[in-house]
Structure 1
Amino acid sequence: MFLRKSVMLAACVWALSPLAWASGTHSYDFGQPAPAAKATRSVEVVMGDMSFTPKTIDVKAGETVRFVLVNKGQLLHEFNLGDAAMHARHQQEMLQMQQSGMLTPTGVKEMDHGDMAGMDHSAMGHEMKSGMKHDDPNSVLVEPGKTAELTWTFSKAANLEFACNIPGHYQAGMVGKLTVSQ
């Protein structure tokens, strides 16, 4: 019981953190989200179970790319743009989401006040205003058999990765190299 309450408390604290809620305030030194209409090209990325095809993507600084993400696997997968340090931090967030029951092997469950029953939110100095969400602009979750999109304008040269940060997926090889050149 203690472990369950500790996990739920950690999930609640994370859900109330600025990183979890302020998606509009996220900034990335390698670029920003863009509307699909601004894309100069599209790249299809097929997600298998523990794989991406292609494994490498090359783009140019200033280019806006529309990523079409096709999940042909049997599991929920994520497409997340960032460097290795960003992925390591995001993997911890995704682990908390999984431990809270929000992430299942094949889908996402939005958390609400009812899912956090029995917790004393007032002791944390705030109220839960809405559910825990996966809403980072550099990331999208794709359920099995589904297709999603992410459009991004790359602002400067960088060595990045695209990765699935669902617990264990990155470590199993679900990561690719994204090179942004001048």
Structure 2
Amino acid sequence: MISRKLMVLLSIICTVVLLAGCSSSGEAKENSQPEESTEETQQGDSTDSTKEETTEEDTIIEAEENSDSEVSTNVIDVSAFEMGYDPSEITLQKGEEYELILNNDGEVFHDLTQKEMDVEITYMGEMADHPESVSLLDKVLGVKKVHASGDHDGGHDATNIHMNAKSGQTVKIKFIPQETGEFEFFCTVPGHKEAGMVGTFIVE
């Protein structure tokens, strides 16, 4: 009789213990699910933030590339040599700013001068004065002083183009054409223009 009651009591205790264990296990699972969900949300937010930052960086880079592309369309490289320019014909738009780069790829001093076209000079880099003499010209033409006509060594006119460079030198200016038409540019070193060192600005 006692053993029977004992067995019933033990059965009840075991049942209670099992139920309590299942209940705590269920609560633990329920508690762990929100944590996992929170971690997933944080990871998702972090990924979205990274994507937004990447998109902003790409946009900035693209804008800079477009800006560089726009600027580069108004840069004109001109090579000076014996006895000419490349290109010798340059087309411009009135009112737009241009950067003109003169590279002296010749063996002697050269310049690029345009006296008729009205321009606004917005930037002028450093340039060398015309030399006292140029050996090649001394031998061929017998000149002793090579210089541009007018007040070259005293300064450049802010409404005309005059660029000069030693052999191997690169110089630059920025300017805005103020009128339309065709305008001749040339090298003012004695004998160079006569030898064909001329070109044309076409302003539309």
- Structure 1-normalised TM-score? 0.51
Distance across 2 between alignment mates of 1:171 and 1:103: 20
Match of 2:184 in 1: 161
**How high is the sequence identity, in percent, across the aligned residues?**
25
Q: Which has the higher helix share?
A: 2
CA RMSD of aligned residues (A): 2.7
- The corresponding residue for 2:133 is 104
Per-residue deviation, 1:141: 1.0
Give 1 or 2 for the bigger CA radius of gyration.
2
- Note if 1:73 corresponds to 2:106: yes
1:133 aligned onto 2:166: no
Shift of 1:104: 2.1
Partners of 1:150 and 1:173 lie apart in 2 by: 24
Structure with the larger RCO, 1 or 2 (CA within 8 Å, 6+ apart): 1
For residue 203 of structure 2, what is the aligned residue in structure 1? 180
CA distance in 2 between partners of 1:178 and 1:149 (Å) = 16
Does the alignment pair 1:152 with 2:175? yes
Distance 1:57 1:180, change over 3 A: same
Alpha-carbon distance in structure 2 between the residues aligned to 1:75 and 1:134 = 22
Residues 159 and 178 in structure 1, CA contact (< 8 A), matched pair in contact too: yes
CA contact (8 A) 1:83 1:159 kept: no
Are the equivalent residues in 2 in contact too, given 1:39–1:64 (CA < 8 A)?
no
The offset of 1:164, in angstroms, is 0.7
List per-residue Cα deviations over 1:13-34 (Å, max 9, x = no partner). xxxxxxxxxxxxxxxxxxxxxx
For residues 105 and 55 of structure 1, the distance between their equivalents in structure 2, rounded to whole angstroms, comes to 24
Helix, strand or coil for the counterpart of 2:114? strand
- Separation in 2, partners of 1:171, 1:64: 31
Q: 1:1-182 maps to which residues of 2 (within 5 A)?
A: 41-83=74-116, 103-105=132-134, 132-133=153-154, 135-137=156-158, 138-181=161-204
Give the alignment's TM-score, normalised by structure 2: 0.46
Per the TM alignment, residue 156 of structure 1 is displaced from its structure 2 partner at its CA by 1.6
Question: What one-letter code is carried by the residue in structure 2 that aligns with 1:146?
Answer: Q
Report the secondary structure of 1:167's partner residue: coil
Once the 2 structures are TM-superposed, how far is the Cα of residue 53 of structure 1 from its aligned partner? 0.1
3-state SS of paired residue (1:46): strand
Asked if structure 2 preserves the Cα contact closer than 8 Å seen for 1:78 and 1:140, the reply is yes
**Structure 2 residue runs without a partner (length 5+):** 1-70, 118-128, 136-152
Indicate if the aligned counterparts of 1:40 and 1:64 stay in contact, CA closer than 8 A.
Answer: no
